[in-house]
Homo-oligomer: A and B are copies of this chain.
């Protein structure tokens, strides 16, 4: 894929062959690497990576280092569930989980800080993170955001103190992603001024609810609000489900979901309701209310907008999954790179010394690009959290802000949750059999995070939402345009296709590039070139799909749906490209804030590796669409190879900057034990050699006459 010229060309940049580059972990701060190579200020970089809520995270990590909050591998499901419940109580005692609640109730009205602290719990045990999330981020947050002062005062104190553990009963067996279609009903009875919560059939059982299997005493139940014969759509109700003995209340039933692929510290379960009556006041009535006589009212006239506003208050789940997944990816890489920097296997370049795993090109290719993506995600997540905080604190809370936040969440959460699974798996494989042992944590984290890709919004469904938003934005450009403008656009599109698509522009580029891989490399390093390549792809994909769907709106519903469906896969790919661009932009902004020159240089390589890695991943698109000539395309891969060689000596610094302590990683193989074993083995061989007791190798005996034969 890469020609020799590109590989051996070093004129464009100083060679940093891994052979003579420094490999030791500098822990920098004034240290100078041999050969004038840049030095990373690990501590300063670490502070930058902690982001806007650095202090909160440092505090939260102290808690995550406490054994009593950590997972014990191998506990039974029942033991694990009880342990996590007890840990939730500890968190309450520590005052660790009330930041987002109102000051007047003992909270801090600090939404960003709350999420930052909450994300760090993943280090202790993802079950603890998610069970806390169920209690305070979903169940409590539904009361906080969908309820009003009455509910806050009446229900929140017991929720905050964990006196009332609760379930967030939205999803049903029959409807997960399509929340609007849930079938549980809440029918108002003006006679008694009560709502009747009812599950009409099996598919309407509430499903996968944390706290529903065992511990939940109340639930925030989403149901179709029916009053005076009209269905006003999905609303949320505060419903008691279990008595103090843990028995279901009359009319309430359920089922334990039992063992899952992970997160077994959480008691997920099903709930169903048979004409369960609750007081009218238990409707969380911020966005829709029913008067005693049954009259419905809402501050939001459009039922559609009302629905999305209510659901929008739940975006924090996606925010925190983005952060927690990124954290897990960072842990995986800290473990695998630390081990890969010590572990040796096969003698390749000498007869006696075995190679360090991370000196193998393939091993670098497996881990370093994922490290670059993790860095991009860290920067993107911090910006995302700042945006979230602005919206939820009311600092910047327009409809546009909320929509933007939703779109960012829908773009970033899929990418980071998938990346976590991919990275945990690659890290596990890179550690071989040791990666499969539970005590080295990679398999457990992966099992727990598996569900992150489909809960709080299935990743594919979320990306489709992003794509629809991009299409809407695109068509908004032409909203007020006359027919002439549209026609001109179409002509321009066609011309673009003819120009890019037939190889004409590419051919020109080929001629200009010919024999000059170096020049194209220097262009690829350019920030603007990367931005243009990534932006262009998103815009072009969306424009093309919009062009194809332009006439679909006029078609009958079934045909329009078929036309849309024929583009669904590409739409989702466009949304992914958009998310990747968001991450690249955030990384680039973060880079601009890095002041230490050595750190900035190395971080620039990491950013370039991320950016060009994206280009390489989608190389076929760039070639087909004439954005890159074959020569330049080859230069992308060649330059990535070179970046990886350059970054290799900094791999340990880059994972050390994540700031995880042994009490966070808790992986035996990342503890230095591998180095100790090798030192012991080396000392043994040296001693035997010195004593002359090492047997002669049969190969050596035979090799001598052979060598003679050859010459």
Contacts and interface: CB of A to CB of B under 8 A. Distances in A.
A1 B624 contact: yes
A437 interface: yes
B203 A681 contact: yes
Interface stretch (A148-156, A246-254, A453-461): A453-461
A421 B422 CA distance: 11
A206 to B, nearest CB: 12
A433 B258 contact: no
A362 B302 CA distance: 31
A501 B702 contact: no
Nearest to A180: B346
A375 interface: no
Given A362-B572, A433-B176, A564-B348, A232 B698 contact: yes
A634 B500 CA distance: 13
A633 interface: yes
A689 interface: no
Contact of A548 (B4, B171, B623): B4
A303 B699 CA distance: 6
Contact of A203 (B177, B421, B425, B678): B678
Contact of A443 (B260, B302, B361, B432): B260
Contacts of A620: 1, 616, 619-620, 623, 633
A677 to B, nearest CB: 4
A11 interface: no
Contacts of A17: 562
Nearest to A73: B259
Contact of A629 (B439, B503, B569): B503
Nearest to A574: B1
Nearest to A425: B421
A570 B2 contact: yes
Interface string A558-574: 10011011111110110
A224 B258 CA distance: 49
Contact of A630 (B203, B207, B433, B501): B501
A464 B361 CA distance: 12
Interface string A111-146: 000000000000000000000000000000000000
Contacts of A438: 258-261
B450 A231 contact: no
Contacts of A226: 695
B433 A443 contact: no
B541 A681 contact: no
A577 B438 CA distance: 33
A308 interface: no
A573 B2 CA distance: 12
A8 to B, nearest CB: 9
Contact of A348 (B183, B444, B458, B565): B565
Scoring A1, A226, A633 by chain B CB atoms within 10 A of each residue's CB, the highest score goes to: A1
Interface string A201-232: 11110011000000000000000101001111
Interface stretch (A315-323, A404-412, A506-514): A506-514
Interface in A455-494: 455, 458-460, 464
A516 to B, nearest CB: 13
A359 interface: yes
Contact of A695 (B174, B231, B436, B623): B231
Contact of A231 (B455, B459, B698): B698
Contacts of A365: 569
Contact of A1 (B177, B183, B570, B684): B570
Given A360-B568, A503-B503, A681 B174 contact: yes
B200 A684 contact: yes
Given A7-B566, A201-B677, A258-B437, A177 B558 contact: no
A681 B205 CA distance: 11
A592 interface: no
Nearest to A697: B231
Scoring A3, A203, A541 by chain B CB atoms within 10 A of each residue's CB, the highest score goes to: A203
A59 interface: no
A1 B541 contact: yes
Interface in A594-652: 616, 619-621, 623-626, 629-631, 633-634, 641
A77 interface: yes
Contacts of A183: 681
Interface in A438-454: 438-439, 442-444, 446-447, 450-451, 453-454
A561 B442 CA distance: 31
A34 interface: no
Interface stretch (A49-57, A92-100, A349-357, A582-590): A349-357
Contacts of A7: 548, 566
Interface string A290-308: 0000001000011110000
A435 interface: yes
B231 A566 contact: no
Contacts of A460: 362, 366
Contacts of A208: 433
A4 B453 contact: no
Interface in A664-711: 677-678, 680-681, 684, 695-699, 701-702
Nearest to A5: B497
5 contacts: A3-B544, A4-B547, A231-B697, A501-B630, A620-B633
Interface of A: 1-4, 7, 17, 19, 73-74, 76-77, 171, 173-178, 181, 183, 200-204, 207-208, 224, 226, 229-233, 257-262, 296, 301-304, 345-351, 354, 359-362, 365-366, 421, 425, 428-429, 432-433, 435-439, 442-444, 446-447, 450-451, 453-455, 458-460, 464, 497, 501-503, 506-507, 510, 514, 541, 544, 547-548, 557-558, 561-562, 564-570, 572-573, 616, 619-621, 623-626, 629-631, 633-634, 641, 677-678, 680-681, 684, 695-699, 701-702
